[in-house]
Chains A and B, each alone.
Chain A
Amino acid sequence: MKVIISLMMLTLSIQLNASELESKSDLKAHYAEIAQKAKLLKSVPDDELVGEILVECMKARKYDPNIFCLESVTEFFRYFPQTVERVSLKNFSKEESDFILKRLNVLNGEAILGNDPSSEP
């Protein structure tokens, strides 16, 4: 029992360390971790996981005002926009939620219309 508790605490401490974002140089690793987690959305589209990803993304806002990690949930947002909106409102204030949805709209538009929609053939 003691061994199990120790291992659980070790795992927990490692996870806590891994998800910390202390400087801008940690962004890439932080985003890669979020992207890995977002892959699960294709098989387990639950509110809790979406909420976790959004919270992790918002942690990066002070270093990346465009929170490009939302790229990870752009595809999910395309199919389940109302879910993302509901989860976002549940976890953040109205202002922050609006910001997240605005960024997701930008990233989604970029993916669909391209980086230069004016050159549409």
Chain B
Amino acid sequence: MYKLLRTIILTLSCMTAGGVSAQSLMPTPISVAPYYFNASPMMPPQIQQPYQLPNYWQQQPSLMQNLMPAFSSFASMLEEDLTGDSDRYSYGEDYGSSRRNYDTRREFLYDPDRPRSSRSTSSSPTRSRTVVSTTVRATPAPTPTPATTVSEDQCVECLENNSGAPQVLETQTREVAQVVERVSSSVLDETLRAYQESQAVTDMVASVRSGAVKRRNQRRAIVGSKPASESLGRCLMYVKFAMLDGGFFSSYPSGMYASNFSPALERQGFVNLMSGNGYEITDPKDAPIGSVIVYENTPGSKTPGHIEIKLSDTDYGSDYIDDQPRSETSSNRKIIGIYAKLPAGES
């Protein structure tokens, strides 16, 4: 918002400083273009100085002329409001007739020969029409129809009873659906809560935190220490160690690229929460703690991708720890899976 405002102010100041008027900002009409560019020898000869704009250019309506209809309609509305005639016209038989609108606007237009006070006399034609309209106003307003109507084939039995049961049934159905939705979401929430509070996840998260400060070489050997925020480009290696510590794997899993690690996770019972299993979690911020987030490169080759574990609501870790998921610090990594291991029977 701030940026936009500043851009507008800059633009306006540029225009003001340069003395650019609205007239000069108007696009050059097509009919004038050949005079400017002298594009074709078949065109008429150039007009000598002093240059005179063609008629088309001069006949452009002014701003006031453009706005006149809007002013006029506003004035009509205002006049109706002030005289209190708007109700009468709303339900009158002649509602919408051009004749009435024409008269109203004519009345409002300033006419020095006609005194304004003459409008208040009941003998004026406008007033007499108002009286006619007043009788029309007595017509009762249309009966409000119910918001939802139940067709015959939807509930024949209820219509036969004629006891207003369709509305009751509809309300009950809606309530039952809400209860089912609430129960199922609470069950799903409890399942995820059970996962993120499990000992395995706790151990895995602790392993990521302690492992992120160890510098490992290409052969997995620890060769020193490093800041937890420094990335080594070996996210998968560090995540594998953490998952081993959490007990999710019995031996060091294979796989070079993070983007190809999803099948290995699924073999261990992990499910993708992005789709299916009743979940549609697509944002790592909504994922449970301990979720394993898998990325692929985009566009082009999908490898190497990236993999990380959600350590807390504000921490994501692999070979480095950041307060944002990688999807927020990379323009070419796309999330393809948010994995969690649900208790047996849930998947």
- Report which A residues bind B (CB closer than 8 A): 2-3, 5-6, 9-10, 13-14, 17, 20, 24-25, 27-28, 31-32, 34-35, 64-66, 68-69, 71-72, 106-107, 109-111, 113-121
Q: Name the interface size band of chain B.
A: 35 or more
Bound-complex Cα distance A98 to B6 (A): 37
Extra pairs beyond A6-B14, A68-B329 (13, CB < 8 Å): A3-B24, A6-B20, A9-B11, A28-B327, A28-B331, A31-B330, A71-B330, A106-B233, A107-B233, A115-B258, A117-B234, A120-B256, A121-B254
Name the residue of chain B whose CB is nearest to the CB of A117.
B218
**Also in contact, A110 and B10, with CB within 8 A (given A6-B15, A65-B229):** no
Bound-complex Cα distance A74 to B265 (A): 29
Do B218 and A31 have beta carbons less than 8 Å apart? no
Do B332 and A71 have beta carbons less than 8 Å apart? yes
Bound-complex Cα distance A28 to B329 (A): 6
**Binary contact track B23-40/A, C-beta < 8 Å → 1, others 0:** 011000000000000000
Bound-complex Cα distance A111 to B304 (A): 6
* 30 A-B contacts (beta carbon < 8 Å): A2-B24, A3-B20, A6-B18, A6-B20, A17-B3, A17-B7, A24-B328, A27-B324, A27-B329, A35-B332, A65-B230, A66-B320, A68-B231, A68-B329, A69-B331, A71-B330, A71-B331, A106-B232, A107-B233, A110-B233, A111-B304, A114-B257, A114-B304, A116-B236, A116-B237, A116-B257, A118-B218, A119-B254, A120-B256, A121-B254
- Report which B residues bind A (CB closer than 8 A): 3, 6-7, 10-11, 14-15, 18-20, 24-25, 218-220, 229-237, 240, 253-258, 303-307, 320, 324, 326-332
Q: How far is the CB of A116 from chain B (nearest CB, A)?
A: 4
Bound-complex Cα distance A10 to B259 (A): 43
**Also in contact, A115 and B305, with CB within 8 A (given A6-B20, A13-B11, A71-B330):** yes
Contact of B220 among A3, A71, A114, A118 (CB under 8 A): A118
Contact of B237 among A6, A66, A69, A115 (CB under 8 A): A115
Task: List chain B residues, Cβ under 8 A from A6.
Answer: 11, 14-15, 18, 20
Bound-complex Cα distance A92 to B299 (A): 30
Do A31 and B329 have beta carbons less than 8 Å apart? yes
Do B231 and A2 have beta carbons less than 8 Å apart? no
Task: List chain A residues, Cβ under 8 A from B255.
Answer: 116, 119
Task: List chain B residues, Cβ under 8 A from A28.
Answer: 327-331
Q: How far is the CB of A83 from chain B (nearest CB, A)?
A: 22
Do B240 and A116 have beta carbons less than 8 Å apart? yes
Do A114 and B256 have beta carbons less than 8 Å apart? yes
Q: How far is the CB of B228 from chain A (nearest CB, A)?
A: 11
Q: How far is the CB of B9 from chain A (nearest CB, A)?
A: 9
**Also in contact, A109 and B328, with CB within 8 A (given A10-B10, A14-B7, A17-B6):** no
Task: List chain A residues, Cβ under 8 A from B11.
Answer: 6, 9-10, 13
Q: How far is the CB of B332 from chain A (nearest CB, A)?
A: 6
Task: List chain A residues, Cβ under 8 A from B10.
Answer: 9-10, 13
Q: How far is the CB of B61 from chain A (nearest CB, A)?
A: 22
**Also in contact, A24 and B330, with CB within 8 A (given A17-B3, A119-B255):** no
Bound-complex Cα distance A31 to B256 (A): 26
**Closest 7 A-B residue pairs measured CB to CB?**
A110-B233, A114-B256, A115-B236, A31-B331, A116-B236, A116-B237, A117-B218
